[in-house]
Amino acid sequence: MQTSGYRQAFRILIIVMLWAATPAGSLGVEPEDAGTGLPVIPPMNLVAADTPNDNGNGITLRWDCPPGDDGSGAVISGYVVLRSENSREGYLETAVLGPGTAKYIDNGPAADPVTGEKIHFIRNKPYYYRVAARYASGYRAVSGASGPVQGRAQWFHDGKIPVLTATVLFFALVILYIQKARLQGSELYVRPIAGMKEIDNAIGRATEMGRPILYVLGLGSPEDIATIASYTILARVARKTAEYRTELIVPCNEPIVMTIAQETVRNAYMEAGHPDAYSDDMVFFVTSMQFAYVAAVNGLMLREKTATNCYFGKFYAESLLLSETGNIAGSIQVAGTDEVAQLPFFVTTCDYTLIGEELYAASAYLGRDPLLLGALKAQDFAKALVMILIVAGAVLMSFGIDWLLEIITVRM
């Protein structure tokens, strides 16, 4: 914000100098403003150009404010943007702007002064522009025309090059590490996650106790990464409950999540060789209301006396309400979420908690599939890169060198 203020001031200074250096009369006859005694000057150096990186619905106008414009509206009360399909005539107002404005992106309708009809901006149509400065004294000074210029759509947004670079780089990393993992087999080291290991024991516990297992997929929508990770863990849990012949209860908060969870559990029971043990009653929809859901699940816990509760996915305020109830009921609880704010609650009430990314890593951890392990390694490598960038950026910026920032800044 500040820099643009300086820039503005600087620009005005230059204009004032230019104006002062210009021999009188060379700009033609200008009426003098009665109030200030300054000449009434129109906006200068109007340039109309296609707005870059847009869908073609926009033309960017830039001009230099006349020297009288100090942004307060005392001398110049504002500007009017005029658009026409013809360089000489038919200019219609498309925008009224406040004082101190030197840039406008035109994509709106212009009002026909006669009919009042709105004439919309049309992509790829050549337009001419003029900008009029409105003086407080009532004078209106119109700039010269700029154009013709067309609003064109771009196929590629060049401000997003850093994002593209990062994406391609990350993609390459993933592919590279997957290849590497394929060669090494599943020997890649993954830090053991106690919570993941303990899921089997928790299921065993439920089996020995002859009580059901509760699996909560959280409040996330089906496309949340946490929910996706949760499906993987659910598959594993379901396979084990099929194997151990233990009851599994999966109350859902979202209909689509429920459908996917049903499919997951059904497949898991099939893979475990007990398709007969699966029923649609295991995975069911409760409600999408947060606290009504809590009430229902807490009721389940207390009535069915679940021995083991698993919470994996997105959780909000309900995390503690669920896990504390489970804690009171004496169940073993394993949780994992990427909602950082809920982690303290889970840590203190659950036996095991997967923290943030650990949840995402769960599928790689459980499957030990080289493909998934490779992706995990790529992620670690990318994280190292980010760390290097952060340190480098901090050092460079401390010395006032900002090219790194320039390179990685995304201009929307």
Partner 1 sequence: MTQKPEDIKVIIATDCGSTTTKAILIQYDEEKGEYRQTYRGEAPTTVESPFEDVTKGVLNSISELSELSGRELLDENNMILKKSSPSEGADIYISTSSAGGGLQMMVAGVVRSMTAESAERAALGAGAIVMDVIASNDHRLPHEQIERIRQLRPDMILLSGGIDGGTKSHVVDLAELISAADPKPRLGIGFKLPVIYAGNRDAREEVSGTLEEKVDLVIVDNLRPVLEKENLGPARDKIHDMFMEHVMQQAPGYKKLMEWTDSPIMPTPGAVGAIIERVAQLYDLQVVGVDIGGATTDVFSVFVDPEDEKPVFNRTVSANLGMSYSISNILAEATLPNISRWVPFPIDERELRNQIKNKMIRPTTIPQTLHSLAVEQAIAREALRLAFVQHKSFATTLKGVQKQRTIADAFVQTGTEGTIVNMMNLDLLVGSGGVLSHAPRRNQSAMMMIDAFRPEGITRLAVDSIFMMPHLGVLSEVHPKAATEVFLKDCLVYIGTCIAPVGQIKESKDVMKYSIDLPQGRQEGMLRQGEMLLFPLGVGEKASAVFEPTGKADVGAGKGTRVETVVHGGVVGLILDGRGRPLMTVPDDKDARIQQMLSWLENLKVYNMDELKALGRA
Partner 2 sequence: MSIWEKLLQIDRRIIYLLVFLAAIIPFLFPAGLEVNTTREVQSIYDFIENLAPGTPILLAADYDPQTQAENGPQAQAVLRHMFKKDLRVVIMTLSQDGAALAEMFSNSVAREYQKRRWEDYTYLGYKPYPSIIILSLGQDFRISYPRDYYNRKLDDIPMMQDIRNLDDVAAVIEIGGGNVCHMWLTYAHERYKVPLALGVTAVSGPQYYPFLQSGQLFGLLGGLKGAAEYETLMDGEYTRLDLPRKAIQGMNVQNFVHVLIVILTVVGNVAFFAIRRRERRAS
Partner 3 sequence: MKRRVPMLIVSITGFLLTIQYFSPHPASEMFYNNALDWLVIIGIFAMPLGIYSMVRIQFHKVIRRSTGWGYSVIALISLFTMLGLGYTDKCLENGTFFMKLFEYVYIPIQATMFSLLAFYIASAAYRAFRARNLLATIVLTSAVIVMLGRVPIGWAIHPLIPWLADWIMNNPNMAAQRAITIGLGLGAASTAMKIVLGIERSYMGME
* Interaction of residue 120 with partner 3, rule CB under 8 A: no
d(CA 197, CA 354): 11
Residues in the chain: 412
* Interaction of residue 159 with partner 1, rule CB under 8 A: no
* Interaction of residue 343 with partner 1, rule CB under 8 A: yes
> In this chain, which of 146, 262, 264, 331 binds partner 1, going by CB under 8 A?
331
- The distance of Cα 335 from the centroid of its chain, to the nearest Å, equals 26
3-state helix, strand, coil in the chain (%, to 5): 45, 20, 35
With CB under 5 to 8 Å by kind, the binding choice for 207 among partner 1, partner 3, partner 2, none is: partner 1
Interactions with partner 1, residue window 222-241 (CB under 8 A) = 240
* Interaction of residue 256 with partner 3, rule CB under 8 A: yes
With CB under 5 to 8 Å by kind, the binding choice for 153 among partner 1, partner 3, partner 2, none is: partner 3
**146-149 and 127-135 beta bridge pairing:** antiparallel
Q: Which C-beta is closer to partner 3: that of 213 or that of 265?
A: 265
- Contact region with partner 2 (CB under 8 A), list: 26-34, 169-177, 189-197, 287-295: 287-295
Total residues in contact with partner 2, by rule CB under 8 A: 11
d(CA 128, CA 404): 39
Using the structure block, give the residue that is written with the tokens 């007969």: 276
- β-bridge mates for residue 49, sequence order: 60
d(CA 11, CA 302): 72
* Interaction of residue 302 with partner 1, rule CB under 8 A: no
With CB under 5 to 8 Å by kind, the binding choice for 229 among partner 1, partner 2, partner 3, none is: partner 3
Distances 199 to 76, 202, 208, 250 between C-alpha atoms, Å: 72, 5, 14, 16
Dig out the tokens for 251 from the structure.
């109350």
* Interaction of residue 106 with partner 3, rule CB under 8 A: no
* Interaction of residue 347 with partner 1, rule CB under 8 A: yes
Q: How many CB atoms lie within 10 A of CB 290?
A: 14
* Interaction of residue 291 with partner 2, rule CB under 8 A: yes
Q: Which C-beta is closer to partner 3: that of 41 or that of 332?
A: 332
Interactions with partner 3, residue window 183-222 (CB under 8 A) = 222
- β-bridge mates for residue 55, sequence order: 153
> In this chain, which of 36, 137, 201, 267 binds partner 3, going by CB under 8 A?
267
> In this chain, which of 13, 208, 316, 394 binds partner 2, going by CB under 8 A?
316
Q: Which residues of 244-268 are buried (b: 16+ CB within 10 A; e: fewer)?
A: bebbbbbbbbbeebbebbbebbbeb
Q: Which positions touch partner 1 (CB under 8 A)?
A: 192, 194-195, 197-198, 200-202, 204-205, 207-211, 240, 243-245, 330-332, 343-344, 347-353, 355
Q: Which positions touch partner 2 (CB under 8 A)?
A: 108, 289-291, 314, 316-317, 328, 340-341, 412
